[in-house]
Structure 1
């Protein structure tokens, strides 16, 4: 519930944060394109992080179950679990890198400028 309210509060302030001074008709679409990029980047990282969090929970559960069944191999299970957790976390890092590219390099911006005639 708290996360839904936080998202709604952040979305409520997007217009104020991205408000531009000057001629609105000249660059009206640019503000929309940047707002869409910010929203897409936030959603990408959020969805990736939540999916990886679920995966990490399943990984830890499996390691604890295996350790409970065979305590002598707890060290090997732990090493394997940490390798798995690193691979799972790399997916979130990839999503973050792609989101940062979409925010700062924005390779689609020239094509979108041509479509909107900016």
Structure 2
């Protein structure tokens, strides 16, 4: 895992160096391409982490409810109701991650800060 994080960090640093190097030459197209490529990769990693965390949370919730129902079958209805409410909240957090990734990619909120205008 350390190997992959080191490679990702090096790629991010190279992309930043390229964007800084080409920003002053008037070739804003390459700098924008590198920058938005980094934004797209970051958004993909963010939604991947959100989906992975949501899946882990849902798995733990279902496991806990099934264990609770196995220990006390009379509480099954209450446990299921609580589980469905918790699952809805977990999925909402994953959708918030997707929304933030979409905002980063499609709104162009970084244009003015990146280009110095």
On whether the aligned pair clears a TM of 0.5, the verdict is yes
- Secondary structure of 2:42's aligned partner: helix
RMSD after superposition: 1.5
Q: CA deviation at 1:37?
A: 1.1
Output the TM-score relative to the length of structure 1: 0.73
Gaps of 5+ in 1: 1-23
**Alignment gaps of 5+ in structure 2:** 1-25
CA spacing shift, 1:65–1:95, aligned 2, 3 Å: same
Is 1:82 the counterpart of 2:66? The answer is no
Which residues in structure 2 correspond to 1:66-105 (within 5 Å)?
66-105=68-107
1: distance between equivalents of 2:111 and 2:68? Answer: 50
Identify the range of structure 1 (81-90 vs 24-33) with the bigger mean alpha-carbon deviation: 24-33
Partner Cα separation in structure 1 for residue 66 and residue 78 of structure 2: 12
Q: What are the superposed Cα offsets for residues 31-56 of structure 1, whole Å, 9 maximum, x if unpaired? A: 01110111011000000110111111
Task: Report the alpha carbon displacement of residue 106 of structure 1 after superposing the two structures with TM.
Answer: 2.7
Give 1:75 shift. 1.0
In structure 1, distance between residues paired with 2:79 and 2:108: 42
Matched residues in 2 for 1:26 and 1:60: separation?
50
**Counterparts in 2 of 1:21-100, with a 5 A limit?**
25-100=27-102
Runs of 4+ in structure 1 off by over 3 angstroms are: none
Report the TM-score, using the length of structure 2 for normalisation.
0.74
Task: Compare relative contact order (CA 8 Å, sep 6+) and give the higher one, 1 or 2.
Answer: 1
Query: How far, CA to CA, are the matches of 2:28 and 2:67 in structure 1?
Result: 61
1:111 partnered with 2:113: yes
